[in-house]
Amino acid sequence: MTYSCLIVDDEPLAQELIEEYVSKIPELKVVGKCNNALEASSFLTKGKVDLLFLDINMPVIKGIQFFKTLVDKPQVIFTTAHREYALDGFEVSALDYLLKPIVFERFFLAAQKFFKAMEKKSTLEEKTLNEVVPIGEFVFVSQGHRKIKVELDKVKYIESFKDYIKIHTTTENIQVKENIGVFEKRLNTNFLRVHRSYIINMRYLTGYTKLDAEMGEQELPIGPSYREKVLSFFERLQVKNS
């Protein structure tokens, strides 16, 4: 498996060095380079990445402050030319920090920490394939001043719009003013994010292609940045049930 990396640094030479180091590790691939947090924010609205190489001391918005704003956080390795900033990175559960000028041996060790973290995550995902979620689990969602009960086993998929989500159930569609990334954390293991705008309930998955998840007559797109992981998950689910 190849993991996607985004480099965020206001120093072009630092970007080039990290990109060179990434190219030496076959499991990593640079999918973008940004000069500041605003560019990175725009990039991440178009899709997820697995790993951020994020400079701490950048103009306008510092790296740590930017990372705190992310709802759907990737793994992060901070970079800095100032040792005194390094400890700040661990406050946001950074995998590691790299002190500039970065040497490859140290970069390689940080990459190994990332691989171990992803292996642990994969093990947890594998475990969910064997979990039986009891029917009747539910969440409450806000509708004005009221809280409405939504039974998760009846939810087919969740769709995200600019400032709200729409919960598609077997009986009705419920519109809620909530971020899809925040709502995703409230769901059980039957649900899978397949696109930055869609979460599906695998109970209602009737088929799939490389581009779409089929939910009965409805076809939902599988986002490019989610595709490899989603298809791998579907294939493992298929093997388990065969």
Grouping H, G, I as helix, E, B as strand and the rest as coil, residue 25 is: coil
Residue 136 — left, alpha, or beta (φ > 0 → left; ψ -120 to 50 → alpha)? left
Q: Is the pLDDT of residue 134 over 70?
A: no
Residue with tokens 């493992």: 236
Give CA–CA dist 20/86, Å, rounded: 23
Residues 111 and 188 in one domain: no
Domain harbouring 188, CATH code: 2.40.50.1020
Domain boundary among 75, 95, 128: 128
- Report the pLDDT value the prediction gives residue 135, as an integer from 0 to 100: 45
Around Cβ 194, how many Cβ atoms within 10 Å? 26
Residues 124 and 237 in one domain: no
Residues 110 and 157 in one domain: no
Domain boundary among 128, 152, 178: 128
Domain harbouring 117, CATH code: 3.40.50.2300
- Report the pLDDT value the prediction gives residue 51, as an integer from 0 to 100: 98
Residue 83 lies in a domain: yes
Grouping H, G, I as helix, E, B as strand and the rest as coil, residue 19 is: helix
Q: Is the pLDDT of residue 128 over 90?
A: no
Angle at 142 between CA 141 and CA 145, to 5 degrees: 150
Residues 174 and 94 in one domain: no
Taking the CA atoms of 43, 63, 8 and 51 in sequence, report the sign of the dihedral they define. Answer: negative
Average of per-residue pLDDT values in the chain: 88
Grouping H, G, I as helix, E, B as strand and the rest as coil, residue 67 is: helix
| Tens digits of residue pLDDT in 66-82 | 999 998 889 999 999 87
Partners of 32 in the β-ladder = 6
Please compute Rg for the chain using Cα positions.
Answer: 20
Residue 133 lies in a domain: no
As given in the structure block, the two tokens for residue 9 are 């640094």
Domain boundary among 108, 128, 148: 128
- pTM of structure: 0.58
Residues 109 and 143 in one domain: no
Query: What's the number of domains the chain is made of?
Result: 2
Residue whose C-alpha is closest to residue 48's, from 38, 37, 40: 40
Question: Which domain, by its residues, includes 196?
Answer: 138-241
Give CA–CA dist 65/71, Å, rounded: 13
